[in-house]
Amino acid sequence: MFTDTGLLLSRLIFIGLIVEAFEILRLRQSFADGGMFSRSTLAIMTSGTRRQVQIGATLGASTAISVAMVVQLLAAVTVIVLGLGVRVGILAALICLTTNAFLRARRQIGSSGAEQLTFIVLVTFGLVIAAGGSEEARRLGDGFIAAQVILAYVASGVSKAVSPVWRDGQALSRIMSAEGYGIPGIAALLLARPWIDKLLCWSVIVWEIAFILVLVVPEPLMIALMLAGVFFHISCAVLMGLNRFVWAFCGCYPAVWATTMLLR
């Protein structure tokens, strides 16, 4: 995603940042006094942490958050339009790194794996630029992001494989029955046909653990593993509302592709 800056797929990360900006702007009152992310609340939560964490958690109220998210939105749009191969695009991406870092420091709680991966990508790009932005630095950046994605999938798959709920094929019916993520109709279907639940559970486990094979399998199988990932994340977005994972993980697939091509 860093070596081939013309790839539109590499810009999915920044679509995720636009989505985040709109979400935070809608929830900006949560950062005001009395809100879930108010400075007084986070001051209590971070009282026993490092000094820099305490400062970040109390830096700016809802107005500062709103300004940061508007700037992030505009910067992300700039990257999507211009890409990462020109100076303005690079500067816009670094601005996104700054605003995203501010949001993470200020919010402290409630982040997801997609948001963590997005921040890792932005930090990696910042390091690539700090190293001169050479072809070698960009390849190293792609390799690191690819390793992060593969590690995330394999670790998730292994954790599911050792979970009795996932092994017995009950996980998805329970998730679909949850108030926050569930869909009653699908939950009823899975409960009525437990073999479908078990098949889906093991399909996810096998795919996540097998994703590391993208590094060595023939190109058609590598593409199939990535397409399975696209289908998985879109399904999670539609069924569970986890829309940020589509932009974060699928946006990193160009880094996986570039790394596998280099290894070959």
Token pair, residue 146, equals: 């690819």
Residue 226, domain member (yes or no) = yes
Specify whether the CB–CB gap between 244 and 20 falls below 8 A. yes
pLDDT of residue 5: 65
Residue 122, domain member (yes or no) = no
Whether 47 and 147 share a structural domain: no
Whether 18 and 78 share a structural domain: yes
Whether 262 and 138 share a structural domain: yes
pLDDT of residue 98: 96
Whether 57 and 105 share a structural domain: yes
Residue 201, domain member (yes or no) = yes
pLDDT at 226 over 90: yes
Cβ neighbours of residue 250 closer than 8 Å, sequence gap 6 or more: 9, 12, 229, 230, 233
The predicted-structure confidence for 116-132, as pLDDT tens digits, reads as follows: 999 999 999 999 999 99
Specify whether the CB–CB gap between 28 and 67 falls below 8 A. no
Rounded distance, CA 258 to CA 215, Å? 10
Structural domain of 97: 1-111
What per-residue string of b and e applies to 63-99 under the rule 16 or more CB within 10 Å gives b? eebbebbebbbebbbbbbebbbeeeebbebbbbbbeb
Interval 71-84 mean pLDDT: 94
Whether 145 and 83 share a structural domain: no
Rounded distance, CA 134 to CA 233, Å? 32
Residue 124, domain member (yes or no) = no
The predicted-structure confidence for 147-189, as pLDDT tens digits, reads as follows: 999 999 999 999 999 999 999 998 999 988 887 777 888 889 9
Distances (CA, A) of 127 to 122, 123, 200, 254: 9, 6, 39, 18
pLDDT at 229 over 90: yes
